[in-house]
Amino acid sequence: MSVESEVMKMAKAAKAASKELACCSTEQKNRALYAIADRLFKDADYIKKENSRDLAFAKEKGLSDAMIDRLKINDSTIKAMAEGLKYVAGLEDPVGQLSQSWKRPNGLEISKMCIPLGVIGIIYESRPNVTIDAAGLCLKAGNSVVLRGGSEAMNSNIALSVCISHGLKEAGLPPDAASVIPVRDREAVTCLLEQEEFIDLIIPRGGEGLIRFVVKNSSIPVLKHYKGVCHVYVDEGADFDMAEKICINAKVQRPGVCNSMETMLVHKSAAREFIPMIFEKFVSDKVVLKGCEKTCQISAIAEPATEDDWYAEYLDLVLAVKIVESMDEAIEHMAKYGSSHTEVIVTRDYARARQFVRDVDSSAVLVNASTRFNDGGELGLGAEIGISTSKLHAFGPMGIKELTTSKFVVFGNGQVR
Amino acid sequence: MSVESEVMKMAKAAKAASKELACCSTEQKNRALYAIADRLFKDADYIKKENSRDLAFAKEKGLSDAMIDRLKINDSTIKAMAEGLKYVAGLEDPVGQLSQSWKRPNGLEISKMCIPLGVIGIIYESRPNVTIDAAGLCLKAGNSVVLRGGSEAMNSNIALSVCISHGLKEAGLPPDAASVIPVRDREAVTCLLEQEEFIDLIIPRGGEGLIRFVVKNSSIPVLKHYKGVCHVYVDEGADFDMAEKICINAKVQRPGVCNSMETMLVHKSAAREFIPMIFEKFVSDKVVLKGCEKTCQISAIAEPATEDDWYAEYLDLVLAVKIVESMDEAIEHMAKYGSSHTEVIVTRDYARARQFVRDVDSSAVLVNASTRFNDGGELGLGAEIGISTSKLHAFGPMGIKELTTSKFVVFGNGQVR
């Protein structure tokens, strides 16, 4: 069978399964999630054996230790995946809920009812746990899922998908509701992106190159997140202890993630006192500092920043620092160089806090808290499937609710126009 | 200037204007809508003169009378456009509203705040009133809009956009917030669809060919509506008088629109009595009937339907009729041949009404009411900019709220992770 017809067959089967899934009960979906979790433990040896084939191949190909580490499945990875599934089972099921109801003058009673999207295609790189995490969340929201992981994790992903199929069957749900495309060739991705008839949404998870490729080639709507160039603005008159705590946390606690701070903006009247104070901390945390001209005048620790630094998503212990004349300049800087992801103001001023929240056009705007809170779990959405930095359908962390849509339901007694 | 750089310049200017628009008050936006409405009356002669150039060109090109009629702007068209703008000014402004708020255990207070999408690109055919209607709705929701109408209405659309710019200026808003691309070449559409950096959403309005072209060529998210193949299912034991009233209304009241009925499904136990009774009415309303084999056995009035008839969006006084064994068969038929637009059940049975509403996967599912109610105005959303039959962002009629999104707003007092 050609790659194209194989992918189409899977997408078509997923669509058929999605119709069954859309009508099944919360209990049935939760039973499937628990059954999959059980399967992970029962089939642990098989999963680890398949994973070791991927690891051997990765070593042969000379992949970096960091990449090999991300690929590895051990008992604790398996436990984490199983616990993730049980956590998702505990989340509220949005499907079938009525979000609004109203009555028209002609007597029609109208509601908006939450329904699954249908079939979600997930294209991801490296970590095989995404296979389980993404499938669990999609299934709980009543969607089928077609997964296409990185070719370096192919055997692991297929083993995990076997567990999912068994779990679905045990709960009396169609096993086609979740599948992994077992094709290494990149052609499989292109084919997947053409299944507009059967797939309702594509979520790419990976580097900017992968995401741009998906957007360019997809006829299916894409929910995407290019990068996180997050800012903290330390306002005139800010509480410096609070600002320091927030900036250190935003930069240092986990520098490799999208909601860490990449650029710190400091009001000119705060700079002379605050910058030497926080730079000392940054240096003791091994953060490399790149400063604007004025910053470098205040502290010799920073090396001069170039224009590229303001756009950079370092994902590392590197920070760009700029002194601004006003909050307006800070907001303009964020709009020009940022990625609409997460911006923070540290301030004591009520009016500026309000203006910042209104004027900053990012998926999360925070006052006096770390950028690291722009995360589905931290915001209280439960598990998340990614963070959208484009505005359609979802802007910011996407939880289970963002994997659904709603239809209009109308009850009448013979009304006509 | 090349088409590409001209389109990019307009998109970029629209983006800059959108930042101003996002922060302006409801009063200012309403003032602009009123100013544009005034301009339409003041510049009526200029608009009609430009329109007459389009009409002359259309006649020269030999366009059909129906198309020329749709192109024509007269005093009553102008009045209707102006009244539309005032109606939109009266709609509630969603921007800045908080839809949900909650508090996290760590004390963070979180809200979702409604914000404009940014810049909306509208690609449409024929009727020049769309220029005003679409611009009004986008502006009220705080968005800039870049419009690209049909080349046959180019002079009319430019004249209308001059009125919009003047109105915006009079209200102190940036005139770049709304513009018409003054290029006849189809290259302008392709260029518009590549302005991912500046445009947040594309809404195509027109025939299926145009919409498929847009989806195929756009890197920007598209809200689309391919077609409306709407069904009415007349259930076993339905009130035949009600069923007749609803079916006649759904087919005859305005057959050329997307929410009119294209296929009627009748339960076998209702067929022998209901079909002859309603066919008599259909015939007196000049509806051409195409029936399944069983339908043709009951009534000689219907000609045999082919497989293509079940997929057809006639937009005319033609109706396909099928007798089904059960409601499940009716639902399967809708899923296979329908377009996820609008489906109706006429029934007296409580359990089947509930099941129909749950199981039918369309943007509007109605019990005992005409398909013609799937419309923004009729559902109570105010003016609509189109009806989405895909599930991302909006499913069904798109009102002013669907031209916005929301961001997370977080208030803390020094929280870190």
Q: Do B369 and A410 touch (CB under 8 A)?
A: yes
d(CA B15, CA B385): 20
The number of folded domains in chain B is: 2
Q: Assess B381–A contact: CB distance below 8 Å, yes or no.
A: no
Token output for A382: 């439960």
Residue B390 and residue A351 in contact, taking contact as beta carbons nearer than 8 Å? no
d(CA A108, CA A410): 7
pLDDT at A226 over 90: no
**Whether residue B65 sits in one domain with residue B30:** yes
Q: What is the DSSP string of A213-273?
A: HHHHH-SS-B-------EEEEE-TT--HHHHHHHHHHHHHS-TTSTTSEEEEEEEHHHHHH
Name the residue facing A373 among B22, B108, B117 (closest C-beta).
B108
User: What pLDDT sits at residue A67?
Assistant: 87
Domain that holds residue B53: 3-223+398-410
Q: Assess A361–B contact: CB distance below 8 Å, yes or no.
A: yes
Partnered with residue A304 across adjacent β-strands are A291
Tens place of pLDDT for every residue, chain B, 417 residues? 899 999 999 999 999 999 999 999 999 999 999 999 999 999 999 999 999 999 999 999 999 988 899 899 999 999 999 999 999 999 999 999 999 999 999 999 999 999 999 999 999 987 899 999 999 999 999 999 999 999 999 999 999 999 999 999 999 999 999 999 998 888 999 999 999 999 999 999 988 889 989 988 998 999 988 889 999 999 999 999 999 999 999 999 999 999 999 999 999 999 999 999 999 999 999 999 999 999 999 999 999 999 999 999 999 999 999 999 999 999 999 999 999 999 999 999 999 999 999 999 999 999 999 999 999 999 999 889 999 998 999 999 999 999 999 999 999 999 999
**Whether residue B235 sits in one domain with residue B133:** no
User: Which of B227, B144, B208 has the alpha carbon at shortest distance from B180?
Assistant: B144
Q: Do B410 and A370 touch (CB under 8 A)?
A: no
Residue B214 lies in a domain: yes
**Whether residue A268 sits in one domain with residue A139:** no
Residue B64 lies in a domain: yes
Q: Do B380 and A102 touch (CB under 8 A)?
A: yes
**Whether residue A352 sits in one domain with residue A327:** yes
**Whether residue B312 sits in one domain with residue B201:** no
Residue B385 lies in a domain: no
List all residues 6 or more positions away from B261 whose beta carbon is below 8 Å from its beta carbon: B230, B231, B232, B247, B250, B251, B319, B344, B371
Q: What is the DSSP-derived secondary structure letter of residue B196? A: T
Q: Do A395 and B409 touch (CB under 8 A)?
A: no
Residue A387 lies in a domain: no
Residue B390 lies in a domain: no
Tell me the per-residue pLDDT of B203-222, one tens digit each, with 9 for 90 and over.
999 888 899 899 889 989 99
**Whether residue A96 sits in one domain with residue A15:** yes
User: What pLDDT sits at residue B167?
Assistant: 97
pLDDT at A17 over 80: yes
Q: Assess B408–A contact: CB distance below 8 Å, yes or no.
A: yes
Tell me the per-residue pLDDT of A111-157, one tens digit each, with 9 for 90 and over.
999 999 999 999 998 789 999 999 999 999 999 999 999 999 999 99
**Whether residue A404 sits in one domain with residue A365:** no
The ipTM estimated for the assembled molecules is 0.93
Rounded to a whole number of angstroms, the distance from the CA of B66 to the nearest CA of chain A is 25
Query: What share of chain A in percent tops pLDDT 90?
Result: 91
Residue A386 lies in a domain: no
Residue A349 lies in a domain: yes
Residue B246 lies in a domain: yes
List all residues 6 or more positions away from A329 whose beta carbon is below 8 Å from its beta carbon: none
**Whether residue B36 sits in one domain with residue B92:** yes
Token output for A172: 């009396």
Q: Assess B411–A contact: CB distance below 8 Å, yes or no.
A: yes
**Whether residue B247 sits in one domain with residue B174:** no
**Whether residue B271 sits in one domain with residue B147:** no
**Whether residue A129 sits in one domain with residue A9:** yes
**Whether residue A129 sits in one domain with residue A258:** no
User: What pLDDT sits at residue A144?
Assistant: 98
CATH of the domain at B118: 3.40.605.10
Q: Do B242 and A374 touch (CB under 8 A)?
A: no
User: What pLDDT sits at residue B53?
Assistant: 97
Residues of B (271-330) whose Cβ lies below 8 Å from A: none
Tell me the torsion sign for CA atoms A391, A393, A395, A398. negative
